[in-house]
Amino acid sequence: MPVFDLSQTPLRELNSALHTLGAGANDTAFEVVNPRGHHAVAVGIDTSVVVEIKGSVGYYCAGMNDGGTVTVHGSVGPGVAENMMSGTVIIEGDASQYAGATGRGGLLVIKGNAASRCGISMKGIDIVVKGSIGHMSAFMGQSGHLVVCGDAGEALGDSLYEAKLFVRGSVKSLGADCIEKEMRPEHLAKLAELLGKAGITDVKPEEFKRYGSARKLYNFNIDNADAY
């Protein structure tokens, strides 16, 4: 298993090694030690490689991930898993601003808290936060799911499109055009699935409330519902 010590090795060597992995590559598990808050650690992965990062990182960790499984044994700076396409990113600690922003797919799990703008402009990503999230989260969220086991800050889901939001604790305030919605069986089933994937066993889907778009702010047309 390749081990990259970022106190000794330039970051670009790690990211180049991850980018040159082709189909059928022998090295499928990487370990990164001493990340020391570096930015852009393990960005642009496009295979099913597994990366274990032992420590805290800076901006944009695992950005654009497409198929990789990245675990950070520490906390992450702004923009973790930004624009993720597919795969899984797991943060054992806390995440700073705009975690999972613009993500198109895959699963982002944050075991601590996430700061402001979590899931901003999300477009299909699933985000599960075991702790709480900050203000303006899921702003203009288009599709995907945001699951929060703790509380949400101000203006949750402002200008929301069709992303589905589930919060177990309190919501400080809802943003424009975001409302609480009925929790139907298919939502409970989806919540159970996402909590299961995130390895969270001590909370029940029934403990959450669902929030979504009131569909008054944007030109929602029921005929286009399948597009989301």
Partner 1 sequence: MCGIVGLFLKDKALEPRLGDLLSDMLITMTDRGPDSAGIAIYGGTTAGKAKLTVQSADPASDFTDLGSDLATADIDAAVTIKSTHAVIEIAASKLGEIRAILCDIRPNIRIMGSGESVEIFKEIGLPKDVVSRFDVRSMGGTHGIGHTRMATESAVTTFGAHPFSTGADQCLVHNGSLSNHNNLRRELVREGMTFETQNDSEVAAAYLTAEMAKGKDLRQALTGALDDLDGFFTFVVGTKSGFGVVRDPIACKPAVMAETDQYVAFGSEYRALVNLPGIETARVWEPEPATVYFWDHEKAA
Shortest CB 94 distance to partner 1, Å: 7
159 contributes a contact to partner 1 by CB under 8 A: no
Residue 77 in the binding site for partner 1 (CB under 8 A): yes
Quick check: 100 binds partner 1 (CB under 8 A)?
no
Minimum CB–partner distance for residue 34 and partner 1 (Å): 9
> Shortest Cβ distance from residue 117 to partner 1 (Å)?
8
31-38 contacts, C-beta under 8 A, 24 or more apart: 31/1, 31/2, 31/3, 31/4, 32/3, 32/4, 32/6, 33/3, 33/4, 33/5, 33/6, 33/7, 34/5, 34/6, 34/7, 34/8, 35/6, 35/74, 36/6, 36/7, 37/77, 38/6, 38/11
CB-nearer residue toward partner 1: 21 or 115 = 115
Least Å distance, CB 39 to partner 1, is 8
Per-residue x/- track, 36-55, partner 1 (CB under 8 A): xxxx----------------
Pairing of strands 178-181, 209-213: antiparallel
Min separation Cβ 112 and partner 1, Å:
10
**Binding stretches for partner 1 (CB under 8 A):** 36-39, 56-59, 75, 77-78, 94, 96-97, 115-116, 134-135
